[in-house]
Amino acid sequence: MPPWEKPLMLEHDQDSRTRSQIDLARLKKTVAVRVVSAFVIMGLIFFLPAGTLRYWQAWVYMTILLVPMLFVMAWLFRNNPELLERRMKARERERRQRNIQMIGSLVFLGIYLLPGLDRRFGWSSVPLAVVMIADLIVLAGYGLIVLVFRENRYASRIVEVDATQKVITTSPYALVRHPMYAGVLIMYLSSPLALGSYWAVLPALPLILVLVARIKDEEKVLTEKLAGYREYKQRVRYRLIPGVW
């Protein structure tokens, strides 16, 4: 975590790699390592700054993120290991995207570190009802990402275009061109309140600028290399939020 979710509007007519060509044992090991690492890293980021394990907002938050993630990964492993393998990619090829990725990682670190410090020093007190509503919004954002997984069989985490891919125009892609980024935005703008901190909203706001920069750079690649994407942009005007941008 955080999952630098990659919403390329692409799918394969015929996947270039079949299940038999994928090392399933290696993939299973990679997924297991990522899940355990996510749990350990999130725990350290939340509980060390808080100075205590008695931080119930963090336990609830980790549960609503990691438990659904386990089910989704298990479903992908069984039904679409090709997509799961792509989700394991992390390093961008282009320097511009690597720079954006690095800045985004710092933003995510701020989103996750500050709530623990807030918990330790009592800077703010978020009511229980607000925390619970924020948790539901986080879960809804992840639900949108899962919907993108179902629609888009080529939802890689990095910017890449394959010769056999085509533009997806169905379901959430009929409303915005980057629905997975919309899910990411929903999840992480509500995360500070879910973790019980008003102050952590401040480092979460730059995430908007990071996503805007990433989307603009990505769309240059898609327009140049993906057949039909230029026409898709004319049909679907909004990139991230319907009626706004």
In-domain check, residue 1: no
pLDDT given at position 4: 39
Q: What is the mean pLDDT of residues 109-135?
A: 95
Geometric angle at alpha carbon 40, from 38 and 43, rounded to 5°: 105
pLDDT bin (cut points 50, 70, 90) of residue 90 is: low
Contact status, residue 108 vs residue 47, Cβ threshold 8 Å: no
Within 10 angstroms of residue 51's Cβ, the number of other Cβ atoms is 13
pLDDT given at position 7: 40
* Structural domains counted in the chain: 1
Q: Return the CATH number at 159.
A: 1.20.120.1630
Percent of the chain having pLDDT more than 90? 42
Q: What is the mean pLDDT of residues 44-54?
A: 96
SS3 167: strand
pLDDT bin (cut points 50, 70, 90) of residue 218 is: confident
pLDDT tens string 164-208:
577 888 888 889 999 989 999 999 999 999 999 999 999 999 999
In-domain check, residue 70: yes
Taking the C-alpha atoms of residue 120 and residue 18, their distance in angstroms, rounded to an integer, is 50
In-domain check, residue 240: no
The helices-and-strands tally (H runs, E runs) of the chain is 9, 2
Geometric angle at alpha carbon 179, from 63 and 221, rounded to 5°: 120
**Model's pTM, two decimal places?**
0.82
In-domain check, residue 52: yes
Q: Return the structure tokens found at 13.
A: 């007519």
In-domain check, residue 227: yes
User: Which range marks the domain in which residue 17 is found?
Assistant: 10-235
